[in-house]
Amino acid sequence: MKLTDRPKWKKIVIAVVCIAALLAAVSSSYAAYTSQAYKRGVARNRDNETVRFTSNYLQSCAEETQPSEYAGRTILFEESEKEKDTLTINLDIYNYANGNLNLVSQKDITYNLQVSFSGGDGNGYRVTYENGSATTTDSVTYTINNRTLTGRTANQHHYVLSFPGKELDKLKITVKATPVPVSVNNGQILAAVIAPCTGSSINAFSFEGKYTDESESTTPQDYSGFNYEISISSGSATATLKWESDVLEVDQFFITKIAGSIIKQADGSLTFTMDQPNGTGDYLIPFYIKDKSKVPDNWAGMKELITFSAKQTETAAAN
């Protein structure tokens, strides 16, 4: 008699086969769940949202934005550094959301960089990068064209802006990074006016929170989630982010990322510290829709669902 001809052994063989099949199904389901949970760190709504184009100092804005309306960035130096021949500012441009390597651009990004120095003596400036120096025709405006950040993996370009120490408190550096074509980033560029200052200089502090998805051709009803960008202009600050928790859910990867800087957390509210000089002055935060029936059909209404404010810390203000 064969082993499987015995009724008792038949039952055991069948049981083993069933258990193996069950374990395989559970393993497959778990793998699918964890894969989906990992990928949920991006609020993807349209094809152009697979592009990530960010910086440690520059902020996204519409291509037609005038330089006078660019975000302001104040970088503090010691008073004694005015005596130095040369000072430098490190500028980085990324193809991922600043502070979150999980949010990587799925497309290659080619861009042109322009750096203009104003308010100083008109000489002693340089813009260098990994492979060389920027070109200039007038010693105050420098350009680097057709640099490409390759998509699907996290990449960055590093630039060093050099200027004479004696120009602290009066120099303004206007920087603009324009994608080629600009439509690849939904008509958005990166730009800022950087002001290198000493602690004795009085500097205005500002903060901003905005939807990067917002455009005249769309409404909030077109989306299944939103990307909300927050930033402070300079120094360090205590920030408060609030959202309607019955309508929206904040991305948990963001919460994990800033866990060490959280001061207070509640349902629909988060208080935490931000520090521009240390690279935590800007964040891109995904939010997911929980109840679409409560999502307004206009962007003005959406601005009531998520709010952001920041108060400069006393130490930073005193400097």
Tell me, letter by letter, the H, E, C secondary structure of the chain: CCHHHCHHHHHHHHHHHHHHHHHHHHHHHHHHHHHHHHHCCCCCCCHHHHCCCEECCCEEEECCCCHHHCCEEEEEECHHHHHCCCEEEEEEEECEECCEEEEECCCCEEEEEEEEEECCCCCCCEEEECCEECEECCCCEEEEEEEEECCCCCCEEEEEEEECHHHCCCCEEEEEEEECCHHHHCCEEEEEEEEEEECCCCCCCCEEEEECCCCCCCCHHHCCEEEEEEEECECEEEEEEEECCCCEEECHHHHHHCHHHEEEEECCEEEEEEECCCCECEEEEEEEECCHHHCCCCHHHHCCCEEEEEEECHHHHHC
Q: Mean pLDDT over all residues of the chain?
A: 83
Give the tens place of pLDDT for each residue, 140-174: 999 999 999 999 999 999 999 999 999 999 999 99
Q: What is the structure's pLDDT at 72? A: 85
Instruction: Give me the mean pLDDT over the 202-222 stretch.
Output: 82
How would residue 8 be classed by pLDDT, with cut points 50, 70 and 90? low
Residue 235 has pLDDT above 50, yes or no: yes
Residue scoring higher pLDDT (192 or 16): 192
What would the mean pLDDT of 220-245 be, rounded to a whole number?
91
> Model confidence over 24-58: pLDDT tens digits?
444 443 333 333 333 333 444 444 446 789 999 99
Task: Please write the tens of the pLDDT for every residue from 236-247.
Answer: 899 999 999 999
Domains 47-203 and 205-319 share a fold: yes
Per-residue confidence (pLDDT) for residue 233, from 0 to 100:
82
Residues 6+ apart with CB under 8 A from 78: 198, 199
Q: Higher model confidence: residue 24 or residue 266?
A: 266
- For the residues 177-200, what does the mean pLDDT come to? 88
Predicted confidence at residue 314, as pLDDT, reads: 66
State residue 48's pLDDT score: 42
Q: Which fold has domain 47-203?
A: Immunoglobulin-like (2.60.40)
Domain ranges of the chain: 3-39, 47-203, 205-319
Which range, of 5-9, 58-62, 254-258, 279-283, averages the lowest pLDDT?
5-9
Asked whether residue 111 carries a pLDDT value surpassing 90, the answer given is yes
- Pick the closest to residue 149 from 118, 114, 177 (CA basis): 177
Q: What is the pLDDT of residue 50?
A: 60
Q: What is the pLDDT of residue 170?
A: 93
Average pLDDT over residues 212-234: 87
Answer CATH for 205-319 from 1.20.120, 2.60.40, 1.20.1640, 3.40.50: 2.60.40
Nearest to 195 by CA among 44, 33, 57, 296: 57
Residue 220 pLDDT greater than 50, yes or no: yes
